[in-house]
Structure 1
Amino acid sequence: EPKKLYDETTQIWKWHNHAEVQPRLKQVLDRMLSPHPQQRYPTAAKVLQALFAPPDFASIVFTFVLIGLAAISAYRLINHLSDLQPAIVTPSTAVDAAPTPKPRETAQQRSKRLGLRDDALRLLLNGSNRTIDQLLYQLEPLTQEARSGIGTYKRVNYDAWLSTAKVSQKAIELLTDAQFVLRFPEQKGKVLNPRTSGQIWYAIARDQITKTQPETLSSLASGTLKNGVGKVYRASLKQGQTIKLNLKSDSTSVWIFSADTTLLKNFSQSDWTGKVTRSSNYEIVIVPNTIGAADYQMSIDVSSVSSK
């Protein structure tokens, strides 16, 4: 019986004379039976860890059997002395495999996605210092409809689009020129070849005609111009009126004109004052001087015509 092995005076278990075990098992059992609770193994998992530490190869079979039997007996002996915590098994967490990097889009794939014709790309790149990647980058902001027609545009197409425009041809050409030069600065001041760079100009004009919606000018107008796209305002002005314009922007220019009169051209300073020479509906066009975001604030004060 277990009680015969326990010395109540010394509080020590005297089992060594009743069984012969390997030194490791003896050491484990002694620690499990220690009279000082703080010296015992805190959990069953720690007991098993101590028992199943790698043994000498020559004694693997013997130790394995003996450990199993001795462990059962030991737990019967100390069952009334301490409650060992059950082993906590932490389930292994599968590590998600790193996502496979998405293959880089080739120039051919990109041009196909943008709806560009192969023959048009060859013409645009012929004699140009631009790489195909640079060209695709410049064309990507255009609409799919405008890009897909590059290589087929003619003047007759442009004239047909103008018939649907909500602003004047002069306003459309100012907006188109500004965006074209910002994207292709080396073309500034040059006569455009209608089969190459002219095709891009037509594509930009097509988008401008479709998207441009004029606004009635109040005393104050402000906003942000992006991707080289300008803005058109309208105002009805009478002969003899005085206009005072204040522009707060570091990267925009302003035009004021009617069908037959130009009051202001390519103005980029802070203040301007002028007199209306002919009564008409005028367009105030503001265009960015940068391809990035261009903030502006524009105020216009129009004096009334003095009566005599």
Structure 2
Amino acid sequence: MKPVFCTQGHENPTGSRFCLQCGEKLNPANTGILSQGMILGERYRVQREIGRGGFGRTYLAEDINRFNEHCVLKEFAPQVAGTYALQKGQELFEREAGILYKLQHPQIPRFREMFRANYNNEGHLFLVQDYVEGQNYRTLLQNRRVQNRLFTEPEITQFFIQILPVLAYIHSQGVIHRDISPDNIILRNSDLLPVLIDFGGVKEIAANLQSEFVGTQPATRLGKVGYAPDEQMQMGKVYPHSDLYSLAVTGLVLLTGIEPQNLRDPQTLLWNWHKHTTLSPTFSAVLDKMLAYRPGERYQNAGEVLNALQNFSTPTPQPQNLTQNLTQPIAPQQKPVANISPQPKTNSNGNLLVMGGIIVAMTSIGLWAGNYWVDSQRQPNNTDNITPDNTDISSQFSPQEQQRKIALQQQRKLLLIDYKFYVQLVNQIYFDQYPEQKGTTLTDKPQDETWRERWDNIAQETLKKLQTISEPARRRMGSYKRSDPDRRKIEINKKFLGSRSLNDLTDVKFFSLFPEQRNNQNFINTPIGQVWQAIAEEQTQNILNGTAIEEIKFQAGTTSTALNDTLQPATGKAYIAKLNKNQFMQLNLEPQPEIQLSIYPPSGKTPPLLQDSPQLNWSGKLPENGYYEIIIVSQATQPVSYQLTLSVTNSAP
């Protein structure tokens, strides 16, 4: 007999009605349509079902092409019948999958791909995303209840500071989560950061289909009762502040251990949580504003909440163990980010350099570039050292321009980018685009309004590009040193990779973001060179944690192997293979557009066999013993799947 699993993965004997470990009510039939061990898409081995909803089932699986790495399969199987309904649902699902695919944030599980699979003589759609090792906040709260403990104000304050930048990011991408609750936020074991899961878009598609073709429920009713604001539950209207409302409810549930239905008066629709917990007046005011009944009275974006949280400080909780303390301090979000001003300030001087417009005169980028950034001795791991803003926004600006500059200011601070570096970087790009402006100073006068707007537009586009870089690497921009490339080389050498491979992986992303720099032979010594260094740092970490590298090994008795993978736009992957001198190697990469291939021998003394080549096959006698490096990069704007076939024999065939 097959065991029965709860949604947390706890195994229970067949026939169990409740989970023996967490007490969750079990459905004995909850074994799922997919059986354990079934392989889908010739790649994913199903382990067990871990959840289900109106959109379909969710499974834990192994990626057999990535050393049996765990991943999550989300099946799209709405409860509708008829060819037209299913076809429409699939079209909507594919559109939503494309939106989720674009989200790239370290606290959001990466959506790897969408694929179709056939079983039971039917076609099914699946989303594949990274598996997050950890427990959701619902389980963590249940564990604390057993110990007669709840979350504290410092812990929830820290939790907000860690999750609000994630909401700011998805909202900047035009995505509303719609379903924030303790169930949909996981505390990741590896770094103790909250991770946002289960976006509501796919659920909304399923609900709309059922409403249209089955008539079971209103299509607008999406979100958990008690957690979602009334306008979302009743009218289907969602905004960034809808997610902030749900986050506040989540915080209250964690603080009180009481479900939201019991914290709100059903007659007056007022929240009565104050009698259940004692909080500081400032934090209480923040929660009350997030929970305001009228949408216009709430904070309108995550930046405003972060700004409000800075107006008071709470003791940082000391780390204990995972089940006792959820918020071990994590740099750089141990403290609230730099001040985000909700209202413009008056600049009485009129000629100060302001973020988003008024630029200090520079006769040449070269006057600034060079030793200042490369040799900066500031310690990048302390946000207190980030250069403070000189960002008084002139009252002479129009309301539209003031708001534009405030938005830029908030976005930069949410990204934790050093102010001084940011201004110099945007200046460089601005002067490159408008060389006639070199040597001029933008003032707050009306005659410079057009030029200020152009600077702001460049700043906005630059921030959009920088947010694609991982936070630890991004926040060090402006402080990378001449010694960093040597340090990275030593680190990746431990993985049998050289600097040429790292440069390939870095270049493909950097030049996709800043293609105009391809003809600049000296960009590394300018502000934009710090961006390249940040990407190199990001790629180094991807190599060290194994996400950007794979070792090719042959099964016993074989001399050939094939590997399959998919490259995201402007990314690459490194393969290493330990081979011997004078062996004959044949390598073939299934032809794909806009892919380049490099093959580097073990030592840097031997020229590359291929380098940045559109030629996707190579054969010949190997010149050295050791680990050969095979680098595949994609310059495509869409995901590209490929198959790498490698054969090695002791003599030519």
Same fold (TM over 0.5): yes
Out of 577, 595, 620, the residue aligned to residue 235 of structure 1 is 577
Q: SS where residue 535 of structure 2 aligns? A: helix
Equivalent residue letter for 1:198: G
Is 1:126 paired with 2:427?
yes
Q: Which residue of 2 aligns with 1:12?
A: none
Establish whether residue 173 from structure 1 lines up as the match of residue 503 from structure 2: yes
Whichever residue aligns with residue 146 of structure 1, its letter is A
Instruction: Report the equivalent of 2:587.
Output: 245
CA spacing shift, 1:291–1:151, aligned 2, 3 Å: farther
- Percent of residue pairs identical: 28
Q: Is the contact between residue 151 and residue 195 of structure 1 (CA under 8 Å) also seen in structure 2?
A: no
CA contact under 8 A between 1:173 and 1:205: conserved in structure 2? Answer: yes
Structure 1 residue 299, shift from structure 2 partner? 0.8
Residue of structure 1 aligned with 2:471, choices 136, 141, 144: 144
One-letter amino acid of the counterpart of residue 119, structure 1: K
**Does residue 185 in structure 1 map to residue 542 in structure 2?**
no
Aligned residues: 213
**Counterpart in the other structure of 1:289:** 635
1:1-308 equivalences in 2 (<5 Å): 101-102=239-240, 103=300, 106-128=407-429, 129=433, 131-165=458-492, 166=495, 167-190=497-520, 191-212=522-543, 213=546, 214-218=549-553, 219-248=561-590, 249-257=592-600, 258-259=602-603, 260-261=605-606, 262-305=608-651
Query: Which ranges in structure 2 are unaligned for 5 or more consecutive residues?
Result: 1-229, 241-299, 304-406, 434-456, 554-560
Instruction: Report the Cα offset of residue 187 of structure 1.
Output: 0.6
- TM normalised by structure 1 equals 0.62
Query: Could you say which residue in structure 1 is the equivalent of 2:19?
Result: none
Q: Which has the larger radius of gyration?
A: 1
Tell me the secondary structure at the aligned position of residue 131 of structure 1: helix
- Partners of 1:174 and 1:285 lie apart in 2 by 7
For residue 305 of structure 1, give the secondary structure of its aligned residue in structure 2.
coil
Q: Which has the higher contact order (CA 8 A, sep 6+)?
A: 1
d(CA) in 2 for partners of 1:160 and 1:97?
Answer: 56
Q: Which amino acid aligns with 1:255?
A: S
1:250-300 CA distances to partner (integer Å, 9 max, x unpaired)? 221111112232222223234332221223321111111125422221112
Structure 1 SS opposite 2:519? coil
Does the aligned pair in 1 maintain the 2:596–2:616 contact within 8 Å? no
Which runs of 4 or more aligned residues in structure 1 lie more than 4 Å from their structure 2 counterparts after TM superposition? 94-101
RMSD, aligned α-carbons:
2.5
Contact 2:593 2:636 in 1 (8 A): no
The 8 Å contact of residues 238 and 305 in structure 1, kept in 2 or not, is answered as no
CA shift in 2, pair 1:169/1:193, >3 Å:
closer
Scaled by the length of structure 2, the TM-score of the pair is: 0.31
CA contact (8 A) 1:231 1:285 kept: yes
Partners of 1:182 and 1:291 within 8 A in 2: no
Q: Give the deviation of 1:189 after TM superposition.
A: 3.3
User: Per-residue displacement from partner, 1:190-247 (whole Å, max 9, x unpaired)?
Assistant: 1214241110000001111111133222421221112422111111222222222221
